[in-house]
Amino acid sequence: MTPRALQQLSLSDASSVIELFRAGAAACRGASCRRGSIDLIRAPGHLIATGDLHDHPHHFKRLVEMAHLGTDRARHITLHEIIHPPNLYNGVDYSYRALARVASLKAEFPEHVHVLLGNHELSQVFGAGIIKDGVKVVEAFNAGLEAVFNNDAAGVLDAIKEFVLAMPLALRVECNRPDGGRGIDILCSHSLPGLAMMSRFDPGVLGRELTADDYQPRTGAAHIMVWGRGYDAEQLEDLVERWGVNLFILGHEKAPDGVALVPPNAVVLNSDHDRGVCLEIDLSNPPTPQQAVLGVTRLTTDAVFDDA
Counting residues of the chain whose pLDDT is more than 70, the rounded percentage is 94
The domain locations on the chain are: 12-298
Closest CA relative to residue 253, chosen from 229, 276, 272: 229
Q: Is the pLDDT of residue 183 over 90?
A: no
The pLDDT of 49-69, averaged and rounded, is 97
Q: Specify the 3-state DSSP secondary structure of 218.
A: coil
φ/ψ region of 305 (left if φ > 0, alpha if ψ in -120 to 50, else beta) reads beta
pLDDT at 4 (0 to 100): 83
Q: Is the pLDDT of residue 31 over 90?
A: yes
Q: Is the pLDDT of residue 247 over 60?
A: yes
pLDDT at 308 (0 to 100): 32
Q: Is the pLDDT of residue 64 over 70?
A: yes
Confidence band for 301, pLDDT divided at 50, 70 and 90: low
Q: Is the pLDDT of residue 285 over 80?
A: yes
12-298 in CATH: which number?
Answer: 3.60.21.10
170-176 vs 182-189, strand pairing mode:
antiparallel
What is the gyration radius of the CA atoms in the chain, in angstroms? 18
Confidence band for 127, pLDDT divided at 50, 70 and 90: confident
Q: Is the pLDDT of residue 305 over 60?
A: no
pLDDT at 266 (0 to 100): 97
**How many other CB atoms sit within 10 Å of the CB of residue 73?**
11
What is the helix, strand, coil percentage profile of the chain, to 5? 40, 20, 40
What is the C-alpha to C-alpha distance for residues 307 and 292, in angstroms, rounded to an integer? 17
What is the C-alpha to C-alpha distance for residues 201 and 32, in angstroms, rounded to an integer? 27
The pLDDT of 132-143, averaged and rounded, is 87
Closest CA relative to residue 273, chosen from 299, 304, 301: 299
Average pLDDT for the chain? 92
Q: Is the pLDDT of residue 274 over 60?
A: yes
Closest CA relative to residue 42, chosen from 171, 173, 170: 173
pLDDT at 131 (0 to 100): 73
pTM summary value: 0.94
